[in-house]
Amino acid sequence: MSLDPSFVGRTYPPTAPYQVGREKIREFATAVGATDPAHHDPEAARALGHPDLVAPPTFPVIVTMAASRQIVEDPALGVDYSRVVHGDQRFAYTRPVVAGDELVCANTIEEITNRGGHGFLTTRTDVSTVAGEPVVAVWSKIVVRGEA
């Protein structure tokens, strides 16, 4: 089943707020091997001018993966998640994510192509604070493998 290109440009409502906590940052940093003290010690982060712990650069994937369910579970789009493989991920930061942030995500479908029996879906998730301050834009490309 191919993906419908008419979905390009579709936006989804903002998600519920996600509270970024110190322990989540520490756990994520440990899991990805990020040893910079600013990820583990609030005083080290403050010494660098941040209000609290700084999340590693790929931390937003925690909130954007949850937000992407709006898209992959959209029955009209028809993504068969059992056939999905990750194609690409990139981040464009306005500022770092820090402990204490309350983040919301707004999803947009930026590109849909179908090639060789596979669907390619690129999304942009704009992550901002509940006050509307932009934090990071995250692009993700998934490949929906065709039937063998």
pLDDT tens digit sequence for 112-130:
999 999 999 999 999 999 9
Contact 67, 105 (CB under 8 A): yes
In this predicted structure, what is the pLDDT of residue 117?
92
Tokens 């650069």, residue located:
57
Any residues with CB less than 8 A from the CB of 112 and at least 6 apart, and which? 3, 4, 5, 7, 8, 119, 120, 121, 122
Nearest in space to 103 (alpha carbons), one of 124, 138, 134, 73:
134
The helix/strand/coil state of 31 is helix
pLDDT tens, position by position, 7-65:
999 999 999 999 999 999 999 999 999 999 999 999 999 999 999 999 999 999 999 99
Write down the architecture of domain 3-19+55-142 according to CATH.
Roll (3.10)
Q: What is the pTM of this model?
A: 0.93
148 pLDDT more than 80: no
Tokens (6 digits) for 8: 């390009």
Mean pLDDT of the chain: 95
Indicate the pLDDT class of residue 1, thresholds 50, 70 and 90: low
Tokens (6 digits) for 47: 């010494």
